[in-house]
């Protein structure tokens, strides 16, 4: 059973960290970091402190994974810090593994949140025995152009600021994947939104329950063969996945193969035929060329 961290309250101190890419500290993106921090302070009433190495820039942090790990350990050790939020994802946080003290995490359970390559840090928490939250990062959702999306605000409040059961999660009314350059002249330019048609179920009628485990599917490849990979006792959990680089038409179908691949360690080829339910989906999978 994983330990669930205490909820956040207005006035709490949260730390920002850069366990993956260090772009939050680059001069051309510092405005974006400050915008995300301002939202945490004004919308959620939190006090935000950057960890010592987190804003030293992408080049420094790429060359110094130990510095990134030190920030993570410092944030967990500090009793005044009640939550930790990643600045952004990246692609190499698995390099932090040799420098992680799992006892420090286990003995200081607190909210940890991030996504994409920060999946590795979530599995640090998982190995240490605490729950973590796969969700918004400072440079993305919190620093969204013009304003934060109301759906994001609602779900952050429901997830991190109350002990009540989250309950039914309705799909967002709108979504966007429009890419606008993170340059300051764009900060007041709203991204184009698309109407959401709701959840899409490929197959299955039964209702199931279980504890969630998962993350970015490309990043999960990095932790295979390491001490972070889930043990067999995790069979029976519900696997969830996000993706970095696949086109929108491909994103939803990964869930249909995830359970067997992640928890039983079978190959993509073994499962493709039994899980994909129509020729259209089969054609999408042929174009992914992802190895498991």
Q: Same structural domain for residues 117 and 53? A: yes
Longest dimension (CA), the chain: 55
Q: Same structural domain for residues 17 and 120? A: yes
Residue 278 counted as domain residue: yes
Q: Same structural domain for residues 235 and 126? A: no
Q: Same structural domain for residues 155 and 37? A: yes
Q: Same structural domain for residues 135 and 35? A: yes
Residue 44 counted as domain residue: yes
pTM: 0.85
Cα distances (angstroms) measured from residue 240 to each of 31, 135, 153, 199: 33, 13, 22, 14
Residue 194 counted as domain residue: no
Residue 208: is its pLDDT beyond 90?
no
Number of compact structural domains in the chain: 2
Q: Same structural domain for residues 19 and 139? A: yes
Residue 276: is its pLDDT beyond 80?
no
Inter-axis angle of helices 30-44 and 150-160, nearest 10 = 60
Q: What would the pLDDT profile of 251-272 be if each residue is shown by its tens digit? A: 433 443 443 444 444 333 333 3
Residue 191 counted as domain residue: no
Range of the domain at 229: 212-288
Which one-letter DSSP state was computed for residue 20? S
Burial degree of 211 (CB within 10 A; 0-12, 13-18, 19+):
exposed
Residue 97 counted as domain residue: yes
Q: Same structural domain for residues 44 and 106? A: yes
**The dihedral of CA 273, 279, 284, 288: what is its sign?**
positive
Residue 124: is its pLDDT beyond 80?
yes
Residue 283 counted as domain residue: yes
Which one-letter DSSP state was computed for residue 59? H
Sequence-separated (6 or more) residues with CB below 8 Å from residue 183 = 28
CA distance 127 to 129: 5
CB 63 within 8 A of CB 78: no
Q: Same structural domain for residues 233 and 102? A: no
Residue 159 counted as domain residue: yes
Q: What would the pLDDT profile of 222-257 be if each residue is shown by its tens digit? A: 999 899 998 766 567 888 899 876 554 344 334 434
Residue 168 counted as domain residue: no
Radius of gyration for the chain, computed over Cα atoms and rounded to the nearest angstrom: 19
């Amino acid at each position: 059973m994983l330990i669930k961290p205490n909820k956040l309250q207005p006035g709490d101190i949260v730390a920002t960290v850069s366990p993956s890419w260090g772009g939050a500290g680059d001069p051309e993106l510092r405005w974006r970091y400050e915008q995300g921090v301002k939202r945490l302070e004004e919308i959620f009433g939190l006090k935000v402190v950057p960890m010592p190495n987190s804003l030293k820039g992408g080049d420094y942090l790429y060359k110094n994974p130990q510095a990134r790990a030190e920030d993570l350990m410092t944030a967990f050790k500090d009793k005044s810090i009640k939550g930790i939020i990643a600045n952004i994802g990246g692609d190499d946080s698995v390099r932090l593994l040799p420098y992680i003290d799992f006892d420090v995490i286990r003995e200081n359970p607190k909210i940890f949140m991030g996504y994409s390559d920060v999946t590795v840090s979530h599995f640090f928490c998982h190995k240490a025995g605490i729950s973590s939250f796969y969700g918004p990062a400072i440079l993305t959702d919190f620093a969204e152009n013009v304003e934060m999306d109301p759906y994001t605000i609602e779900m952050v409040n429901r997830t991190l600021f109350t002990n009540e059961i989250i309950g039914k999660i309705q799909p967002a009314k709108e979504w966007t994947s429009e890419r606008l350059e993170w340059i300051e002249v764009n900060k007041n330019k709203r991204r184009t939104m698309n109407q959401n048609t709701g959840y899409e179920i490929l197959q299955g009628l039964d209702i199931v329950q279980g504890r969630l485990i998962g993350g970015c599917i490309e990043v999960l490849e990095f932790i295979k063969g390491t001490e972070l990979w889930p043990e067999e006792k995790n069979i029976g959990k519900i696997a969830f996945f996000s993706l970095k680089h696949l086109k929108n038409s491909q994103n939803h179908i990964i869930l249909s193969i995830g359970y067997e691949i992640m928890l039983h360690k079978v190959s993509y080829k073994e499962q493709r035929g039994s899980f994909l339910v129509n020729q259209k989906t089969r054609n999408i999978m042929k174009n992914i060329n992802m190895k498991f």
